[in-house]
Amino acid sequence: MDDSQYFNEQHLQVRDMVRAFARDEVAPVAAHFDAISEFPWANIAKMAELGLLGVPWSEELGGAGLDLTSYMIVIHELAKVDASHGLTVSAHTTLGTSPIVYFGTPEQQQRYVPLLASGRVMGGFGLTEESAGSDAGGTQTTAVRNGDHYLLNGTKRFITHGGVGEIFVVTAVTDRDKGTRGGISAFILTKQNDDLARAAEHNIGHADELTPMPGFTSGRKEDKLGWRASDTRELIFQDVRVPVENRLGVEGEGFANFMRTLDAGRIGIAALSLGIAEGAFEEALKYSTVRRQFGQAISSFQGISFQLADMATEIEAGKHLVYHAAAMLQRGQNVTKAAAMAKLFCSEVAMRATIKAIQVHGGYGYTKEYPVERMMRDAKICEIGEGTSEIQRLVIARELLRDVTA
């Protein structure tokens, strides 16, 4: 890809900085945290110091004041080395923080965004439930208005940062009869970081000015195939008293606003997928030049070189989809179709590229001695999270047909 097509000098500086951080700080510990399935607090603290947890937010709100292309570069470069680190930035920024930035009142923005953008606390997004995955309209969590507060009851599943986060934006049904078009609202909730002792060792993960809401807790931690250094848990609401001023946006507009949030989130997952694919390709390319069979490097064999060619071509195409969608989002354009295309293509490229990378490595690729095994496990969830590949195809088809019939 011609860097000048999407990147300016500042973008290249961001890329070089994050690439060096990933190489020096993430690569040496990625396999360790994957193996023990622990959140890498030391590196999260370093990322916060570098401003990586508030890249696209204004300096007035505690962010780095950079653009959305810079933000996607951060996710892309981190994921080339470890998807869990890239996901932490993506979920915290797009899912945990952006709804407050875009839909919150000035008071909500001033209260919560600086804490999130600076990385003092982690944020999360509560949408998925036992019966509400691809069908987000199946939300069962309820919020019943009672004077100056709502009472929330229900459970969310597969929530990134569920245990380590303190600020969450969640959906709940406020009017069952209205369904998704006016019956679901969004709220800002606060809870205690369940990993507070480890987080405190690195002076991160807690804000004294936040008061945990009684009845809001996290449930069991998921034992996942991939993204194992990312914290994923249930969120449980038992008569959680949420002040009316913590409602995010107008009552009944939660579903529509969350769909807009997911558009941006899909570009982030596309960048994450692209990073996994490119990281696997680089490992395969390097290995193919040093591994010798029949007296020559395996890269000289057509069966290997063609796989490398296919990987490189698809990654190049993925870069255009990701950074084109990011540029559209930066300009305020409708990105529903572009985001779905980027997410669909890059997530499936990540799966194909990691499988090919393991094939290039042969038997060694099936061991934990090389990172391509971890990369393949990390790639699979990219075809599921933020909307499955099947949902992306539905979204793309719907947008195409809308353009025709409009």
Which residues are identified as catalytic?
A: 386
- Residues 322-356, buried b or exposed e (16+ Cβ, 10 A)? bbbbbbbbbeeeebbbbbbbbbbbbbbbbbbbbbb
Q: Where are the alpha helices (DSSP H) in 172-297?
A: 196-200, 254-290
Strands (E), 178-215: 184-190
Pairwise CA distance, residues 251 & 253, whole Å? 6
- Name the strand (E) or helix (H) holding 369: none
Beta strands at 149-160 and 232-243: parallel, antiparallel or unpaired? antiparallel
Q: What angle do CA 305, 74, 260 make, to 5 degrees?
A: 105
| Residue pair 39/231 in contact by the 8 Å Cβ criterion | yes
Name the CA dihedral angle for 232, 234, 239, 241, rounded to a multiple of 10 degrees.
10
Task: Give 206: exposed, middle or buried? Use CB within 10 Å, 0-12, 13-18, 19+.
Answer: middle
Task: Give 4: exposed, middle or buried? Use CB within 10 Å, 0-12, 13-18, 19+.
Answer: exposed
90 backbone dihedrals φ, ψ, rounded to 5°: -65, -50
Beta strands at 216-221 and 232-243: parallel, antiparallel or unpaired? antiparallel
DSSP SS3 for 83: helix
CA 403 centroid distance within chain: 29
Report the interhelical angle of 302-330 vs 254-290 (nearest 10°): 150
Pairwise CA distance, residues 338 & 352, whole Å? 21
| Residue pair 184/143 in contact by the 8 Å Cβ criterion | no
